[in-house]
Chains A and B, each alone.
Chain A
């Protein structure tokens, strides 16, 4: 495995922080401010893509900024999975910014500068997590993400926002401090090493009980992944403005949770250890499986569009965890692939929810009966997004779910196959009726019907981009597959 020492990963992380500073300084001129963001996003994307060829060759970019603790430093490493995740986050940052401008500006929302500032910081933190070379660095950026998204969640500053924000922090900070931190310290104390290592850091012969305890602490400690019972923050955080829910709570924040778990499972425990220790693998799969099914069932009962999406997200995250928990090559590939696939699908859905709210002021599914014809483009995008999340062709979701299903058949946990299928059915059951009712049900609210109209282009264009991407990802899934495969091979090659 070839290692390239390069400062580029740090630059990539810093670009959006610099953008954040500029945003804060130039807050008085909104156009300049947002130009900065786009420039930063473009630079960032360019830098990321420049790393791609080498990473796909199986090389690693590494850089250690400084040593924080003996043997553990503030260090970055770019591998296929990290790069994939960073690419997804940054590329979705651009349409989301467009969308934010479309949403916030007409409403003359307060504190837009603050909004964009913390948004940029959050992106930096998410990319920081993606590039972390060890658990400590990951933890630092994980916490930075929690803190920087708090002002975004409470952006509206009404009672609901405060309550949601309180829940958000209680869950995220509480679990990370009370579970993930001590688990990390115990790992350090046991092994003296926190680097993500292929094959794990534990010496053979570490007691299984300890491993089980640590595993559970990590799984629940990274509560951003939304494993039940530490999932309640996500529906609570839906009080945030739509772009926040879209980018952060469908992509950046939740995926950071899942990503952290993947890193811990592959880099600290090691896939081999999981595969060879049935109890560990089973714990991951059972916890994820339960969350998967229960979250889907709850989603069925939600009338609020964003809550339904939130529960759907909780379920989909567990797909990824379950995929890694299977500890097979195609399982890991599927899990890695599901990160971008679900991201594109879910962001489309969230943006649609925001657009619907803008179009007719509706927050509940029962309020949009029959209104779909007034804004067909929005609802079409919603349909494509649903297909992607359910996992039907011709959308990208199909590809990732395919690998997940194959993975479950390869593994010792074949019952997971049934779980995947059941859940996909449930997904269909809670998404498709929305589309159906929007177009074909009798309108319940005629007053709303008259006012409803297609939202402005600044809102629609991002929708178009993301939903088109969902379809494109199906046809051009090869590139993404390369990323996922490189990562999976690195960790499962015996």
Chain B
């Protein structure tokens, strides 16, 4: 049955969502277990596939059995149906997305019950649909199918954000406009590729695009490429399309933010990588001498801007949102360095950052659950109230800063190495700057949360009662934080067995 595993990854959350939607009307208590089950199945399949792919290479799956068919007028066979592919480029991401989604689903239960009391009928279903959409974007081998999955993820995230009431409606609306613009640009880009390539299958496109370019560069393919990249940038909140993200994720309910923030942007980055590396090729990217520097400058700008604004914010969620914006800059920059360490860094950071952001939002969620809000000034004494949460928070921040041996250190390592190899020093400077800014913020929080209150252990000082988040939230948070260290220690294995093989063959030493 292992050949059916790729589709199981998608079907798990998809069917779970439908069942959860039924259960919402009959036995509301059942909808959450359905979703957990679906995500667990999906995670198990994804995990199994990691090993299968590491051993046996890419796994292709043809929906409806419509695979390679010989077409009389063409020399080579084409895939006439829709293909989904699990290969070295996406297998880690699939495991990360489904794993993080599973943990977040366990974690979010309590939050949903309190924050959204009485309104959560479709929350679980939308949650599972979002995950199905994200997994679909990551797994599909068909550029149009990717668009449909993109819309599935987008529509469910609009709804998940709008659960936040108040300002979240406008935030969600802005996201909808930007997101639809991104999706439309992407769709238009598909049109431009389709008009030259005549197929939508990614593998087939990667085979024929070089032949189309044989007689000189094709303007249509170039325009299509630019449109798709712009569309992906809008989706991932890359500078200068980042405007929607901070409000959307800040005013969303914590439960929604904790699944959206780590996964949505990462998956969009993956889509960009897939288009850049598989549909087009590394040589094509390196041939775009006009665009490459622009993309790199924009990445630097994203990192600098994200860092700067995170310093000026006083709300913990807002700070975290600006972190996301600068982290997106890391990955786009790494991808556009288009050399071996840069791409390795971008691919590794894809997984590492998903885990880091997830841990960060989980920790923030625990704080919000107990303290009601996350203004910096409210954090006084939080280290005594919630020691475990804050320990996880500190580990996560250390990872974001890039303290070894957490995973953040290694992604930064590869990215800086790539930038140094390409001689893009402004990118190096931006990476270091963002590390420093995060360090400043971490220690500002430590000062407020730990040092600004009279130490309760000293006689005469008021005691600060322990008020830790419930275990169902605490355990996923702690697990995620430990995962960051584990991921860091496993870097070499991941890079050697999987990421190195995802790199384009042209970069092999």
How far, in whole Å, are A73 and B489 apart by their CA atoms in the complex?
10
Cβ distance B123 to chain A, nearest Cβ, rounded Å: 39
Given contacts A177-B401, A182-B428, contact A69 B410 (CB under 8 A): yes
Given A70-B492, A70-B496, A162 contacting B455 (CB threshold 8 A): no
Number of CB contacts from chain A to chain B under 8 A: 79
Contact assessment for A68 and B428 in the assembled complex, using a CB-CB cutoff below 8 Å: no
- Counting CB contacts under 8 A, is A143 at the interface? yes
Please indicate the chain A residues that have their CB under 8 angstroms from the CB of B398 in the complex. 147
Partner of B405, one of A74, A147, A181: A74
Q: Is the CB of B492 within 8 A of A189?
A: no
The smallest C-beta distance from A416 to any residue of chain B, in angstroms, reads: 34
Known contacts A139-B404, A185-B413; A177 and B432 CB within 8 A of each other: yes
Contact assessment for B489 and A154 in the assembled complex, using a CB-CB cutoff below 8 Å? no
Which A residues are CB-close (under 8 A) to B403?
143, 147
Q: Which residues of B408-442 are within 8 A (CB) of A? A: 410, 412-413, 416-417, 420-421, 428, 432, 435-436, 439-440
* Separation of A154 and B458 alpha carbons in the complex (Å): 15
Assess A157 versus B443: contact at CB under 8 Å? Given A182-B432, A188-B417. Answer: no
**Stretch of A166-174, A195-203, A311-319, A449-457 at the chain-chain interface:** A166-174
- Asked if B457 contacts A111 (CB within 8 A), the reply is yes
* Cβ-based interface call for B451 (8 A): yes
Return A41 CB to nearest CB of chain B, in Å: 26
The CA-CA distance from A182 to B432 in the complex, in Å, is 8
Interface residue count on the A side (C-beta < 8 Å): 33
Q: When A111-B455, A189-B341 are in contact, do A169 and B491 touch as well, CB less than 8 Å?
A: no
Known contacts A166-B443, A189-B421: A66-B416 contact under CB 8 Å: no
Contact assessment for B420 and A69 in the assembled complex, using a CB-CB cutoff below 8 Å: no
Q: Does A178 contact B (CB under 8 A)?
A: yes
Query: B191-225: which residues lie under 8 A (CB-CB) from chain A?
Result: none
Give chain B residues whose Cβ lies under 8 Å from the Cβ of A154: 451
Nearest A residue to B491 via CB reads A68
**Contact across chains for B436 and A177 when beta carbons are under 8 A apart:** yes
- Cα distance, A189 to B439, chains bound together (Å): 26
In the complex, A170→B428 CA distance in Å? 19
Question: Could you tell me if A169 and B420 are in contact, using CB atoms closer than 8 angstroms?
Answer: no
Docked CA distance A66–B451 (Å): 37
- Mark each residue of chain B from 231 to 252: 1 if its CB lies under 8 Å from any CB of chain A, else 0: 0000000000000000000000
Check: A136 CB closer than 8 A to any chain B CB. Answer: yes
Find out whether the CB atom of B402 lies under 8 angstroms from the CB atom of A177: yes
Inside 8 A of B421's CB, which chain A residues have their CB?
Answer: 189
A174 to chain B: which residues have CB within 8 Å? 436, 439
Nearest-CB residue, chain B, relative to A169 = B443
How many angstroms between the C-alpha atoms of A178 and B412 in the bound complex? Answer: 12
Instruction: Give the docked Cα–Cα distance between A169 and B491 (Å).
Output: 27
Per-residue CB contact flags for chain A residues 39-58 toward chain B (1 = under 8 Å, else 0) read 00000000000000000000
A68: B residues at CB distance < 8 A: 405, 410, 488-489, 491-492
By a CB distance below 8 angstroms, the chain A residues around B76 are none
Q: How far is the CB of A109 from chain B (nearest CB, A)?
A: 9
Bound Cα distance from A136 to B405, whole angstroms:
10
Contacting pair A189 B435 (CB below 8 A): no
- CB-CB contacts of B391-409 with A at 8 A, as 1s and 0s? 0000000100111110000
Interface 0/1 of B487-509, CB less than 8 Å to A? 01101110110000000000000
**A298 part of interface (Cβ distance < 8 Å):** no
B447 close to A (CB within 8 Å): yes
Contact between chains at A182 and B435 (CB < 8 Å)? no
CB-CB under 8 A from B410, the residues of chain A are 68-69
A67 at the interface (CB under 8 A from B): yes
Contact B451 A181 (CB under 8 A): no
Q: Which of chain B's residues have a CB closer than 8 A to the CB of A73?
A: 492
Min CB distance B313 to A, Å, is 20
Complex Cα distance, B109 from A160, in Å, reads: 44
Q: Which residues of chain B come closer than 8 Å to A157, judged between CB atoms?
A: 451, 455
Whether the Cβ atoms of A177 and B439 lie closer than 8 Å is: yes
* Smallest CB gap from A109: residue in B: B458
Inter-chain CA distance A161–B451, complex, in Å, is: 9
Task: Tell which of A136, A162, A177, A186 touches B435, judged by Cβ atoms closer than 8 Å.
Answer: A177
Residues of chain A in range 363-405 having any CB-CB distance to chain B below 8 Å: none
Which residues of the other chain, B, contact A5 by a CB distance below 8 angstroms?
A: none
Also in contact, A66 and B404, with CB within 8 A (given A110-B455, A166-B447, A174-B436)? no
- The smallest C-beta distance from B463 to any residue of chain A, in angstroms, reads 13
Distance to closest chain B CB from A105 (angstroms): 15
A69 to B493, CA, bound (A): 9
The smallest C-beta distance from A362 to any residue of chain B, in angstroms, reads 24
With a CB–CB cut-off of 8 A, which chain A residues contact B341? 189
A140 in contact (CB, < 8 A): yes
Once the chains are docked, how many angstroms separate the CA of A170 from the CA of B101? 36
Interface residues in B6-46 (C-beta closer than 8 Å to A): none
Q: Assess whether A173 is in contact with B439, with CB atoms less than 8 Å apart.
A: yes
Name the distance in Å between A64's Cβ and chain B's nearest Cβ.
11
Cα A140 to Cα B402 with chains together (Å): 11
Knowing A68-B489, A111-B457, A173-B439 touch, does A162 contact B416 (C-beta < 8 A)?
no
Measured in the bound complex, the distance between the Cα atoms of B455 and A161 in whole Å is: 13
Chain A residue nearest to B500 (CB atoms) is A70
> In the assembly, what is the distance between CA of A57 and CA of B496, in Å?
38
Partner of A70, one of B455, B459, B495: B495
Given contacts A69-B491, A110-B455, are A162 and B496 in contact (CB under 8 A)? Answer: no
Chain B residues in 8 Å Cβ range of A177: 401-402, 432, 435-436, 439
Residues of B within 8 A of A165 (CB): 443, 451
- For residues 448 through 480 of chain B, which have their beta carbon under 8 Å from a beta carbon of chain A? 451, 455, 457-459
Q: Considering the chains assembled together, what is the distance between the CA atoms of A143 and B495 in angstroms?
A: 24
Knowing A68-B492, A110-B457, A143-B404 are in contact, say whether A178-B436 is a contact too (CB < 8 A).
yes
Cβ contact within 8 Å between A69 and B457: no
Chain A hits for B455, CB < 8 A: 110-111, 157
- Given A143-B404, A177-B402: A182 and B416 within 8 A (CB)? yes
Chain A: minimal CB distance from B119 (Å): 43
Expressed in whole angstroms, the minimum distance between the Cβ of A60 and any Cβ of chain B is 23
**Are A69's CB and B492's CB within 8 A?**
yes
- Are A189 and B417 CB-contacts (below 8 A) given A110-B458, A177-B432, A181-B432? yes
The CA of A108 and the CA of B455, in the complex, are separated in Å by 13
Distance between Cα atoms of A188 and B413 in the complex (Å): 10
Bound form: Cα–Cα A108–B491 in Å: 45
- Inter-chain CA distance A398–B457, complex, in Å, is 46
Q: Which residue in chain B gives the minimum CB-CB distance to A112?
A: B457
Which residues, 80 to 123 on A, are CB-close (under 8 Å) to B?
108, 110-111
Instruction: Find out whether the CB atom of A189 lies under 8 angstroms from the CB atom of B405.
Output: no
Q: Is the beta-carbon distance between A66 and B439 smaller than 8 angstroms?
A: no
Name which residue of chain B comes closest to A186, CB basis.
Answer: B420
Interface string of A269-313 (1 = CB under 8 A from B): 000000000000000000000000000000000000000000000
Interchain CA distance A69-B410 in the complex, whole Å: 8
Closest Cβ of chain B to A170, distance in Å, is 8
Contact with B along A180-212 (1 / 0, CB 8 A): 011001101100000000000000000000000
Whether the Cβ atoms of B404 and A136 lie closer than 8 Å is yes
Chain B residue contacts of A186, Cβ below 8 A:
420
Closest A residue by C-beta to B403: A143
Chain B min CB distance to A218 (Å): 15
Complex alpha-carbon distance, A328 and B398, angstroms: 40
Contact yes or no, B492 A67, CB < 8 A: yes
| Inter-chain contact A178/B432, CB cutoff 8 Å | yes
- B416–A169 CB distance below 8 A: no
Shortest CB-to-CB span from A302 to chain B, Å, is 27
12 A–B pairs (Cβ distance < 8 Å), ordered by A: A66-B489, A69-B495, A73-B492, A74-B489, A110-B455, A111-B457, A140-B405, A157-B451, A157-B455, A169-B439, A182-B416, A189-B417
Given contacts A70-B495, A157-B451, 14 further A-B contacts (CB under 8 A): A67-B493, A69-B410, A74-B405, A111-B455, A140-B404, A143-B404, A154-B451, A165-B443, A170-B440, A173-B401, A182-B432, A185-B416, A189-B417, A189-B420
7 closest A-B pairs by beta carbon, nearest first, are: A140-B404, A67-B492, A110-B458, A185-B416, A110-B457, A178-B432, A189-B417
